[in-house]
Structure 1
Amino acid sequence: MRNTLYLFVSLFLLSFYACKENAYPQVLLLADNLTNSNPDSAVSLLCSIKDDMSAQSEETQMYYRLLCVKADDKAYIPLTSENRILPVLHYYIKKDDTRHLPEAYFYAGRTYRDLGDAPQALDYFDKALDVLGDDSCCELRSLIHSQMGRIFSEQGLWNEARKVYSQAYRWSVLEKDSISMIYDLRDLASTYCDVEGVDSSLLYYQEAYDLASALNNPRIMSMVQSQIGKVYVQMGKYDLVKKILQPSLKTTVDRIKSGVYSITADWYYKMGNRDSASYYYNKLLGFGTLYALTDAHWRLAELALEEGKIQVAKGHLEQYMEELDSVRKFIDSETIREINSLYNYSLRESENSCLKAENKQEQIYLFYSMTGGVVMSLCFFTYFQYSRRKHAQFNLQLLRLKRIEEEQYKKSALFIEENKRKQEELTQLLRDGAYPAQQKEQIEQQKRSLYYAGKQAEFGLQEREKARRMLLDSDICKYFKEICNEEKDTHLPPEKWNLLEQTVNTAYKDFTEKLFRICKLSRHELHICLLIKIDILPKDMARLTDRSRESITSVRRRLYEKFFGTKGTPQQWDEFIDSL
């Protein structure tokens, strides 16, 4: 009945097609609007006018094909073939259509994400952002950053995911799209998945819930509440779980109910309320996800065994094994899909390399026929590419250095003092002002986060001092110190250097690996770094490495410039090594 209605509407609108050149039929514009508000209706409408599109211009047909992909994606219909979007994308690239090209790139990325090809999906998302240019199309920018964040999250790259989710939220705010803002806040909260980040996670979830409450949207409120309940279970705050999950139990959306009922059942089980746990586990059997069903059958089998119901337990265990087998097949298929993704990506890179080789051959032919000015231009271009690559590598090196320095700072006495100062400021803020309950709770949560971070830093500082004492008290360290006290020169065998390296890495986890991740070192440079770590003086370094004292000073100065890209003193290099 509904399809018939849309067919009638489409035929009616088709009779009023705009007559001016390059105007799209009104029915397609209507379908485009429906993709956001009612995607299922958009899919039905587009299907109903499929036969009519053959008589339209190529431009109109390409717009129709783009809308079909868009409507399917919005209606949660998996995009299982790149052949649907790539011809559309190539058409808009050829036409340099700035209106539709960003969206075509985006849905090419969505297609490859559904196909499990993360590298190709990210490439298309980046291209979509490139062709957008200015600060327009806030909605599309938000979608692109959100999809990139999910890819990073799936890979466990939480810092990268957090950055792009923040961008998605920023564009949603500019678009004034409250629904997208809620999902962006939820995604941001999910990036703080470790124990240290639960306070930040709860802040984002609470903000998302407040926004959903303001919209009076029960479905989204239930979704956010279930996520908050999951965090409370993780924190062991079982007294808060029931309170937060109670309203969510009324939801009718299966994909939300599965999470809510699963968390509720686990909570009752851990609280020792076996009857209620059994009730919710049994409910899950009707609509739970694959993982929820597996867990439910296992728990129900345990509960049946506790009651002596052997046959019931056996039935659930058999179902558990079937569900577990399905999970393994799913994981295997995901693994295979990832392997295929990497293979396909390598294949495309290989094809690109072949194309580049062919182009280079053509350039060689052209080279012999060109003038000296063209030769100079080619040399300049080569130098520019080389400089650009070196600059990119150096920026990556500085980024790694910055991360190491940030990690070390968070374990330093300076960080602890700064942390205490911030806690005192927040305490004074609470003491001096009268704030609403919600704002006061946020300040209290900030204080708790600072307190836990401070404790973590104090623990790290203690561990560092313990590691230093262990290193200096080690046999190999004492061996090197004794050699330094001897008058005669000596040649140290490789075994001693290897043992020193192992001991330093044991005391300071991955010390040498951190250095090599930033920049490659020669064996001589590494030996100097190891000697700095065990407090050997420069004059003794010269004896132990069979070099002059001036050479040791020069190497330390050169290493600082090699790592940091700027001139420095040997003492600055020693301080950096001591901080690792």
Structure 2
Amino acid sequence: MNSDYIPMDTVTFMDEVLRFYDSHGTAEERIRANYMNGCVYRDRGDSPMALEYYLKAVNLADTTEKTCDHELLSRIYGQMAELFHKQRYPQKELEMWNNAIAMARKANDTLMVMQSMMRISGVYWLEGKKGKAAEFSRETYKFCKKMGADSLAARELATTIAYNLEHNNLDDAKREIDEYVSKSRLADKHGNMAEGSEFFYSYLGEYYLKSHNTDSALYYYRKLISYDEDIMNLENGYKGLMEVYGNL
């Protein structure tokens, strides 16, 4: 269920499973059982209990042992990072992503390393360290390109696009926007963004507003607010429209 992204909130037997493995299981089985119990609480929306079981899981691990499942540990740290992200606790989120990267490197899991690195620039941005966010994002972009992951590299450009737009580096922003659209695999041939990536319309709106292309700016800000299930889309869309009309 967990591997197939099926919510586990209806599972009622994990406490019993955990008690069994705590008494009779190997260290790896106890780690996995605590992890699974944490996932059940995660899907129930109980972050404190989920974190408690995730922490129990990683504390059971001896990372110096050759048999240590570093790949699993990287996933657990990633889950904790996600929970701290939802709680807007960037310091702990950053710590967990760094732990996830360290474990993924030991497991030779390059994809997990890249995916974890891609989350760190957003943490710095949330902390208000936008210059550091852009710097780290550029390093992540280079690493993804080196590994041949061109689509992931293109997705990482979102942070530097935002930074360049904020600093009115419009030529750099446009170059990165074009690469994001053409290589991220998040835009179809008509320029429509994939579900969950609609925030990119705000970057397009801002670029066209600052390029004095009012019609295109209005188009993308109006497109953004049509995805009203996300309050951030509404906030960014209406804010953009106010700026457009304020400059008319």
- Output the TM-score relative to the length of structure 2: 0.78
Unaligned runs of 5+ residues in structure 2 are 187-193
Counterpart among 52, 60, 66 of residue 131 in structure 1: 60
Pairing of 1:325-340 with structure 2 (within 5 A): none
* Distance across 1 between alignment mates of 2:8 and 2:165: 35
Higher Rg? 1
Are 2:145 and 1:216 aligned? no
* Distance across 2 between alignment mates of 1:78 and 1:224: 28
Are 2:163 and 1:231 aligned? yes
2:198 is paired with a residue of what secondary structure? helix
For residues 196 and 70 of structure 1, do their structure 2 counterparts lie closer, same or farther at Cα, with a shift above 3 Å needed?
closer
Pairing of 1:270-289 with structure 2 (within 5 A): 270-284=210-224
* Distance across 2 between alignment mates of 1:305 and 1:235: 21
* Higher RCO structure (Cα 8 Å, ≥6 apart): 2
Amino acid at match of 2:22: I
For residues 263 and 127 of structure 1, do their structure 2 counterparts lie closer, same or farther at Cα, with a shift above 3 Å needed?
same
Counterpart among 81, 96, 103 of residue 32 in structure 2: 103
- Residues 182 and 209, structure 1, Cα contact 8 Å, conserved in 2: no
Task: Tell me how far 1:206 sits from its aligned partner.
Answer: 1.6
Aligned length: 236
- Residues 181 and 208, structure 1, Cα contact 8 Å, conserved in 2: no
Task: Tell me how far 1:87 sits from its aligned partner.
Answer: 3.6
2:124 is paired with a residue of what secondary structure? coil
* Distance across 2 between alignment mates of 1:200 and 1:145: 23
- Residues 262 and 280, structure 1, Cα contact 8 Å, conserved in 2: yes
- Residues 150 and 161, structure 1, Cα contact 8 Å, conserved in 2: yes
2:81 is paired with a residue of what secondary structure? helix
Pairing of 1:61-76 with structure 2 (within 5 A): 69-73=1-5
Amino acid at match of 2:178: Q
- Residues 149 and 165, structure 1, Cα contact 8 Å, conserved in 2: yes
For residues 131 and 297 of structure 1, do their structure 2 counterparts lie closer, same or farther at Cα, with a shift above 3 Å needed?
closer
Counterpart among 33, 37, 44 of residue 115 in structure 1: 44
For residues 280 and 106 of structure 1, do their structure 2 counterparts lie closer, same or farther at Cα, with a shift above 3 Å needed?
same
* Distance across 2 between alignment mates of 1:90 and 1:118: 21
Q: 2:209 — aligned with what?
A: 269
For residues 178 and 122 of structure 1, do their structure 2 counterparts lie closer, same or farther at Cα, with a shift above 3 Å needed?
same
For residues 156 and 91 of structure 1, do their structure 2 counterparts lie closer, same or farther at Cα, with a shift above 3 Å needed?
same
Identity %: 20
Amino acid at match of 2:215: D
1:104-127 CA distance string (max 9 Å, x none): 211222232233322211110111
* Distance across 2 between alignment mates of 1:264 and 1:176: 37
2:19 is paired with a residue of what secondary structure? helix
Amino acid at match of 1:263: Y
Q: 1:258 — aligned with what?
A: 198
Q: 1:346 — aligned with what?
A: none
Amino acid at match of 2:204: T
* Distance across 2 between alignment mates of 1:222 and 1:230: 14
* Distance across 2 between alignment mates of 1:107 and 1:230: 37
Q: 1:85 — aligned with what?
A: 14
Pairing of 1:560-579 with structure 2 (within 5 A): none
- Residues 144 and 153, structure 2, Cα contact 8 Å, conserved in 1: yes
Instruction: Specify which structure has the higher proportion of helix.
Output: 1
Counterpart among 224, 227, 238 of residue 298 in structure 1: 238
- Residues 106 and 125, structure 1, Cα contact 8 Å, conserved in 2: yes
- Output the TM-score relative to the length of structure 1: 0.36
* Distance across 2 between alignment mates of 1:189 and 1:278: 29
Task: Tell me how far 1:233 sits from its aligned partner.
Answer: 3.5
Task: Tell me how far 1:139 sits from its aligned partner.
Answer: 0.8
Task: Tell me how far 1:223 sits from its aligned partner.
Answer: 2.1
2:27 is paired with a residue of what secondary structure? coil
Amino acid at match of 1:142: S
For residues 235 and 168 of structure 1, do their structure 2 counterparts lie closer, same or farther at Cα, with a shift above 3 Å needed?
farther
* Distance across 2 between alignment mates of 1:185 and 1:300: 30
**CA RMSD, aligned part only?**
3.2
For residues 194 and 105 of structure 1, do their structure 2 counterparts lie closer, same or farther at Cα, with a shift above 3 Å needed?
closer
For residues 147 and 236 of structure 1, do their structure 2 counterparts lie closer, same or farther at Cα, with a shift above 3 Å needed?
farther
Unaligned runs of 5+ residues in structure 1 are 1-68, 309-580
For residues 88 and 274 of structure 1, do their structure 2 counterparts lie closer, same or farther at Cα, with a shift above 3 Å needed?
farther
* Distance across 1 between alignment mates of 2:168 and 2:156: 19
Q: 2:177 — aligned with what?
A: 245
Amino acid at match of 1:88: V
Q: 1:152 — aligned with what?
A: 84
